[in-house]
Structure formats: C-alpha cells, structure tokens
Amino acid sequence: MSRKLTFLIVAGVFALTLGIMFTANISSEDQAMADNSNVEIATIAGGCFWCVESDMEKLPGVIRVVSGYAGGEEENPSYEQVSSGSTGHREAVQVYFDPAKVSYARVLDQYWKHFDPTDEGGSFGDRGFQYTSAIFYHSEAQREIAESSKKALDESNRFNLPVITPIIKYTTFHEAEGYHQDYYKHNPVRYKTYRYFSGRDKFVEEHWGDEANVVSRGAALPMADSEFVKPDDATLKATLTPLQYKVTQHEGTEPAFKNEYWDNKAEGIYVDIVSGEPLFSSKDKYKSGTGWPSFTRPLVPDNIVEKEDSSFFTTRTEIRSRHADSHLGHVFNDGPPPTGLRYCMNSAAMRFIPKAELKSRGYGKFLDLFK
C-alpha cells in the first residue's frame, strides 16, 4: 500500500462520504479548451498528482491543470484500482497552457525541477509503476522538445544517476475523482503534511535550491520585451546542451557542416534558443558554402545587437540577441543582393520553428511571410 493511499485512509477523505467520487475521460469543457488554437496540452507524470498539479499551476501561462490517470487499458479506472498497480496507469496531470505566453520547453523545465527523474520504482514514498514518471507527447514537435530537454538535463550531471523518465506517445487520459482536483487548495493542511513526509521537498531543495522557484521564460517563446527574465547561469547549464551553452554564453563556435541547420531548406523561422525571440526567416537564408546557416538580413532587426569583436587578431562584427544576450555569430560584407550581407549564425544558438507550427507555438503573425 502506498504512503499516499495510507494517508488518505487515515485522513478519512470526506469526499467519499459525500458521494462526489467520479471518474471520466477528458471532459467536454477540457476538450473545448484543447480545441482552442491558443491552448496546448502537456501530459506528464511525476509521482503524486496532487504535488505535480500544485507545482505546474504556479507557472505563468498555465491555464489549468487536471489530475488523472494516463496510459493503461482499464476504462474509467478508480483511484483504488490505479493505486493497486493492476491497471497499467500512471498518476499524471494534463497541463493546459497558452503557447503565446509559455513554451512547451518551459513547461518541461518546470516539471523536471519538482520530482526525481532517476527513480525507476516509483516516486519518493509512493512505490510502484503507477507512481513512476513519464512524458506523454501529443505531437512530433512535443516529442523532439521532450527528448532534447531530457538529454540536456541528463548531460548537466545534476544527479548522480541517469535520467530515466520515458518519453511515450500519448494515448488516453482519464480525469481523476473530483476530490483529487486542486487537492492542495481544498485540503492545505493534509496536503502539506503528506508532501513534507513524502521527501519530495527535501529532494527538490537538495538538487535545485532556489532554482526550483525561478519563474523565467523558456526556449522558443515569443514574449513582450518587458516580460523576459533571463535565467541564471546554473539554470542555463541545466536546460541547454553543452554546445548550446558554450556557443550562447561563452562565444563558442560549432563545427562547420556538422550542425543542425546549415543545410536546412524547410520553410519557417529561427528563434533564440534561450528567449525565443524571432531572429531570422528561411526566406532570407541562402547557401553560403561556409557550413553554417547564413542569412542576408534579420527577421526582426530590433532583436539583433551588433558588437565589435577583436578576438583572433582581427576585428569582426559580432551578432547577439537583444533580450537573451546570446552570442549568435557574426555578420560579414560578402553576402548576395539585396543587402550584400552574410549573417553567419550558429545552429546551436537557435531553434527552428517550421511554418506549419508557427501558429501553435505563438508565432502566427509571421505566417504571411510564406503565402
């Protein structure tokens, strides 16, 4: 029997006596919300859904978080069935968020900081498959972001053990009984007592400290200029790959012809890997023969900052992003018409947003470029 189930029995959950227990598939209200083009869903499991729900609702841009049971084959499972470990479900939450205000990458950043992604047998005091962690992706874009996010966290060596959280294609989600929703709000004393004795807070404090409470804007996020808060160095190390960190924070240069976008011919835009501010368009990309992505002009000139660079015994013009202050590359006067400029950029400093995903990721205003 899990610690949480024992806690529920001892506490005597009053909702049972009131007869308000129910389980359902995703509600019509939630489905209508999901059908809204301004809302995206993330389905994640990180142990006790009371705790995950509480932590995810603190993130700006999140509209609603619903506790429930993901995966499994049992139709409309009850809490008792799931907690027994016999149904193949995990306790999970669905996070409804506005991609114009917070990115999926930032949602995952918040998620990673509030559970133990190295635990194969459960989550803190709750043991069994039903309490293990998982990310359930709803699209290929989510899968790619999740894999990149997991890889970056694993390579950061923040934990002594490898990050084992699986990334699984989403299938089903059953909303949990009513008394589980917003449990931390309706039963604050019981919730805080359970959470404290579970060991979750101690783990988060030991591995993340104040970083767990950092509310910053994540990668691939379009934002108002005044809203972006650059993460501290420790957070950047944890969320960027070593190459991304080296390039953007320490003026590094990635290998020519061995980078992600040098030969990318797809239509879309390129945004800053840290802030998500729009930088360049595929409309202005050309084959320079240098082995790095090259552009004739920026998409949003105000997001580009030029600085004199006197390194390597020569003087060049460095290009940085305005809001994240990321090193992007350099600009040269040997480009083609109409500008005669070559913005030679590092793939590692940017994220590519395909034309088909511009609207869903909050960059819909750039769709007219590709008509």
- Measured CA to CA, the distance from residue 194 to residue 328 in angstroms comes to 47
Q: DSSP per residue over 303-366, as a string?
A: GEEEEEE--TTS-EEEEEETTT--EEEEEES---TTT--EEEE-GGGEEEEEGGGTTTTT-GGG
Other CB atoms within 10 Å distance of the CB of residue 33? 17
| Active-site annotation holder among 56, 163, 344, 348 | 344
In contact, 346 and 329? CB cutoff 8 Å: yes
CA 241 to chain CA centroid, Å, is: 14
Sheet with 327-332, edge to edge strand ranges: 285-286, 294-295, 342-345, 327-332, 316-321, 304-309
Per DSSP, the three-state class of 62 is strand
202 Cβ contact list (under 8 Å, min separation 6): none
Any bridge partners for residue 136, and if so which?
43, 168
- Measured CA to CA, the distance from residue 237 to residue 156 in angstroms comes to 7
Per DSSP, the three-state class of 204 is helix
DSSP H helices, 62-101, are 79-83
| Residue 48 among the catalytic residues | yes
Relative to beta strand 89-97, strand 40-45 is antiparallel
| Active-site annotation holder among 48, 236, 238, 341 | 48
Type of residue numbered 182: D
Catalytic residue positions?
48, 344
